[in-house]
Structures are given as structure tokens and as C-alpha cells.
Structure 1
Amino acid sequence: MNALLYAVTVFIWGSTWLAIAYQIGDTPVVVSVGWRFGLASIALFIILIARNALPKLTAENHKMAALLALCLFSNNFLCFYFATQYIPSGLNAVVFSLAPILNALNLWWLEKKRPDATFIQGALMGFVGVLMLFGAQFIHSAMDMTILLGLAVTFIGTYFFSMGNLVSARAQKKGMPLLPTTAWAMGYGALYLFAIALLMGYSLAFTTSPLYVSALVYLAIIGSVVGFNTYLALIGRIGAAKAAYCTVLFPLIALSLSTVFEGYEWTWQSVIGVILVVSGNLRVFGLPEPVKRSVKRWSRT
């Protein structure tokens, strides 16, 4: 079951970055993200009501869901959508793969769980890899400063996501039900985003082109309802550290799709950068147990 959850999460999240790129255009980013999580929340509530599985949450649970909304279902994606205007979606995903390292840093900062030397080595490899990736993109784009803006914004979004991981882990430790909490959190995120849009004077209407609508439906139902819940289920079943392998693997899918559909051009710096990012994460968390078992079987033959 865990292997299936891994595979589904990696494929879905690896492909959502390209769908995000297809939403960039006439519709304001804050409206696009709001509709994504608004539709996702409605779909989850329909599923829960149909299954008669919508428990009442306490006031404390709703506070936790609202905090989760700010970290996982609003501010982080505002950053990711905004950054996709300036950098290829695949690079956005690579920066996002640093989330497990930020998780460990947050645990050090907030819970005084100091990382060991292995973590420091892996973190340095990951950050150097990202610098090489964006250095190659920076040079290739004739020193376009907007690339640095995209890098900074997507890093802020990744930090929001990292904080959301800690909030989700704490909520599940308190026994909060996963699907209802996620449904409320997505709903709160959508209301928060719509309020921002209205305060900025934007209409809540969105582009009705087939490409935009198909990307919206894919992101809301597949990317949010399915993808987030498989990932959060992994956190609950095997812990945040092991679930973090998803973020190591899906940037490879995202970059592959970006190469085919966005014309992302590889250089020797970008290849080394991706290798360093993946290797840094693997240095921190080690190889997954199934891979270890496969290596042992292969070495015995």
C-alpha cells in the first residue's frame, strides 16, 4: 500500500507543475489558486457526505485547519504560481524538493532537534545544486534578473509548505481526521484567497479556455484532492522523513515534462545541479528500504 501511495503521489505532483504553468495568463494568480482549492474542498466535502464520514471538528481543530490553510493551501501556492511566470515549472519543482531539508531545519529551530553531520552535508549538496541549476538558467537567459525573483519567491513558497508539514504532523498526532481536516483547510484557504482577490479589486471570474479549465480541474481534483491526501496519508503512515522521498523523485518528472512542453534546455551545469539536489536529499534520508533490499539481492547474485 505504501508503494502505491508513493507512486501515485510522485506522478501526480510531478505533473502538477506543468498544469500550473498552463494557468498563468489572463486570470489573476490569486483567483486561480482560490478556485483550485475551492473546487477541491467542495469535491472532498461531497465525498465525505456521500460516505457519511463528516465528523464535527472542535474549535481547536478548526484553528489547526486554518493554520494548515495558510501554509499548504494558499500562501505557498501563491508563491509557486507567481514564480512560474519567471522560471520553468521544472525548476520550480526542483526548489520545492528542498522541503525535506527545510523540515529538518524547522525542527532544529522550533523543537531544538539539532541535525547531525550527515544532514549538514546533504543540505549543502542540495543548496549548491539549486544554485548551479539557477546559475545555468541565469547565464542562458542573458542575465535576466527576473530569474532571481522567481527563485526567491518559490523558495518562500517552499518554506510555507515546510511549515505546513509540521502543522499536519502535529494535527495527525492529536488524532484529527485526515480527510475532514483537509477539506476544511482547503475551504479556508479558498475563502482567504478570494477575500484577497476582492480586496485587490479582482473579479472572481476565470478564463474559460479549454486549456485553462482542464488544468484547473486536474489541479483541483487530481493534484489537490488525490495528491495531497496520498501525501498526507504517507506522513501519517510512515512519518514525514520517509514520505519526503516523494519530493526527491517528482522533480525528475517535472523537469522531463518541462523539457518536452516548455522547451527547457539542459546544460552540463543543470545536469550536475539536479544530481546534487537528489543526492543531497538521499544523503539526508538515505536510500528507501525497498531500494536497499534490491541492492542487497543484486549484490548477492
Structure 2
Amino acid sequence: MTSPAQAPARAAGLAVAFALAIVYVVWGSTYLGIRFALEGGWPPLSAVSGARFLLAGGAMYAFLRWRGVAAPTRAQWKNLLAMGALLLLLGNGCVVLAEQSVSSGLAAVAVASVPLWMGLFGAMFGQKPTRAEWLGIAIGFAGVVWLNAGSSLNASPTGLVLLLVAPLGWAFGSVWSRGRDLPSPFMAAAGQMLCGGAMLLAAGLVRGENPLAAAPTLHGTLALAYLAVFGSVVAFSTYVWLLHHVRPALVSSYAYVNPAIAVALGAWLAGERFSAHDLGAMAVILAGVVIITLARVLRR
């Protein structure tokens, strides 16, 4: 029989498990959601990325201001603009463009290299990796080279380049943002989505995209709504909650769980096929990320 003292701990444990499941499954499924939105007729940058981040960020910003959360200062808006450019314009935008010619599963595997780049950029900013972290970085990058040297990515040179740029932008933005003057976490997320969404929309219009002239299918529209509500608001808010309740090393586990979920969903719901080469490269990349994560746990 559970004692009164054990009940809160169990409830807290269930809450953390549920929150991790949301981040794992929802963020892992966004790659397939992007593919479905693209196949449904929505323009990549102006709608699949730009419009959904603007809507999600605007709704979140309005709600936070209504609850009395302070608006970002002018200096904070500048930092949010830089983060929106790096994480969303380069990070998310390149992934969406790549998925026009690359499977959702391979896109997720390529993005799994983010922790490896973060380790290198961290070293550039004075955060010296341990020997174990360097080992994880070396193994992970061996997997990245393997993935880009013989997989189906070779059939799409543009997709290959985009999937190299995307994790670079996300990783550099994540490392650069540490210690910057930023508002509260939820307001920072809202401001970042507003800034990044506006830049993505502008980039799409420069490319000649016209979201108002699109004739999307119901399937594509539902996918876009899923990305905006669950991918941009629910999962990110859950991620922020986790950062305040568990160790960062546990939260960062999404980096090696999401690709496996994305590959499984792509094969199940979209009929995507992956060669032994692709799966082997994914295993090596994820092994490197796991080593980095464990090294950071032991370092604390």
C-alpha cells in the first residue's frame, strides 16, 4: 500500500514520464508532419515554417501578456531576433526545404548531430569538453560522414547541404544564447517564434511563395495545424517545464529518441524505406550523442 509520503513522489514521477513522452513523440513526429504539410500543398518557408511560428508565437505572446508577464526589452528583442535567425530560420527552415527531396526519417537522423556541433561550438566559447565528450563527438561525426557518404542523401545534393546547415544553425544558436539577456523562458520562446516566423515568412515571399494562393488539401492543413499547436506550443512548453523539474541531461535525451521515432513513423505511415547504410549511420550518430550525454551526467 502506498504511503502518503510516496504518493507525491509517484505523481511527480508520472508527470515527468508523461512530459518526456510528449517531447519524444510529438517532436519525433514533426518531421513526418512537415512532409505531410508539404505534400498537402503548403509552401515550405512561408506557411509550413513561417505562418505556423507566427501564429503559435503570437498566441503564446498574447496569453503571457494577458497573464501579466513582462514584455521583452529592446535589448532582449535583439537577442531573440538573433536566436530566431539561427534556430528557426536556419535550423527549422533548412529542414523544411530539405524535406522536399529527402525523407522525414533521414532529416531527423541528420538533425540528431546537433549535440555534436554544440560540443564543438561550446569548446570555441571556452566550455572545454572532457575526454569522454571528445570521444562522443568523434564517434558522432564518424556517423555523420558515413550518412553523407553513400546514403540516399546523395540523390539530393541540395537536401544534403541543407541538412548540414540546419544542425549548425540550431547548435550555434543554442550555445550563443547561453548567458544572454533574455526574458522568462516562456516569453523567450514566444518572442523567438515571432521573430523567426517573420523572417521565415519574408524568406518564403522572396523565394516567390504565395501562401494565400495555395490550394492545400485537408490532410495538409491538418498536418500544419498539428505542427503549430502540438509541435510549436505544446511540446515546447513541455520542454521548458522539464528544464525546470529534471536534470538537463535527461531532457537532452530527446536528441537521440526523436530520430528513432521519426524513422519508425516514416516507415509506418509514409512507407519510407531505409537502407542498412542509413540505419547503421544513425546508430553511430546516436551512439556518439549517448556518450556525450553520459559524460555530462558523470561530470556534474
Whether TM exceeds 0.5 here: the answer is yes
The 3-state SS of whatever aligns with 1:30 is helix
Alpha-carbon deviation of 1:124? 2.3
Alpha-carbon deviation of 1:258? 1.1
Given candidates 264, 276, 285, the residue that maps to 1:268 is: 276
The answer to whether the 8 Å contact 1:64/1:167 transfers is: no
Equivalent in the alignment of 2:129: 115
The 3-state SS of whatever aligns with 1:115 is coil
- Deviation readout 1:194-241 (Å, 9 max, x if unpaired): 223334443241443111111111111100112223334444555655
2:103 equivalent to 1:88: yes
The answer to whether the 8 Å contact 2:182/2:188 transfers is: no
- Deviation readout 1:10-34 (Å, 9 max, x if unpaired): 1111000000111225443221211
Counterpart CA distance in 2 for 1:175 and 1:158 is 22
- Deviation readout 1:48-105 (Å, 9 max, x if unpaired): 245x233122111111111121122322221001111221111111111111111111
Which region of structure 1 is more displaced relative to structure 2, 271-280 or 150-159? 271-280
The residue type paired with residue 219 of structure 1 is L
- Deviation readout 1:154-187 (Å, 9 max, x if unpaired): 121111111232244434xx56211122212211
| Alignment gaps of 5+ in structure 1 | 290-301
Which region of structure 1 is more displaced relative to structure 2, 192-201 or 38-47? 192-201
Equivalent in the alignment of 1:164: 173
Q: What fraction of aligned residue pairs are identical, expressed as a percent?
A: 24
Change (3 A) 1:67 1:210: same
Alpha-carbon deviation of 1:189? 1.6
Tell me which stretches of 4 or more aligned residues in structure 1 moved more than 6 Å: none
Alpha-carbon deviation of 1:3? 3.7
Equivalent pairs counted in the alignment come to 280
Equivalent in the alignment of 2:292: 284
Equivalent in the alignment of 1:34: 50
The answer to whether the 8 Å contact 1:89/1:255 transfers is: yes
The answer to whether the 8 Å contact 2:23/2:254 transfers is: yes
TM-score if structure 2 supplies the norm length? 0.83
Counterpart CA distance in 1 for 2:82 and 2:120 is 20
Which region of structure 1 is more displaced relative to structure 2, 269-278 or 59-68? 269-278
Q: Report 1:40-189 matches (<5 A).
A: 40-50=56-66, 52-109=67-124, 111-135=125-149, 137-138=151-152, 144=155, 146=156, 148-171=157-180, 174=181, 176-189=183-196
TM-score if structure 1 supplies the norm length? 0.83
Alpha-carbon deviation of 1:149? 2.8
Change (3 A) 1:181 1:268: closer
The 3-state SS of whatever aligns with 1:286 is helix
Which region of structure 1 is more displaced relative to structure 2, 78-87 or 188-197? 188-197
Change (3 A) 1:134 1:88: farther
2:31 equivalent to 1:17: yes
The answer to whether the 8 Å contact 2:42/2:220 transfers is: no
The answer to whether the 8 Å contact 2:133/2:295 transfers is: no
Change (3 A) 1:9 1:119: same
2:212 equivalent to 1:197: no
The answer to whether the 8 Å contact 1:21/1:85 transfers is: yes
Alpha-carbon deviation of 1:268? 3.0
Counterpart CA distance in 2 for 1:216 and 1:129 is 31
Equivalent in the alignment of 1:6: 20
The residue type paired with residue 123 of structure 1 is I
The residue type paired with residue 281 of structure 2 is G
Equivalent in the alignment of 2:4: none
Change (3 A) 1:133 1:196: closer
Counterpart CA distance in 2 for 1:267 and 1:124 is 23
Change (3 A) 1:257 1:127: same
The answer to whether the 8 Å contact 2:46/2:205 transfers is: no
Equivalent in the alignment of 1:293: none
Counterpart CA distance in 1 for 2:211 and 2:256 is 35
The answer to whether the 8 Å contact 1:48/1:54 transfers is: yes
Change (3 A) 1:259 1:287: farther
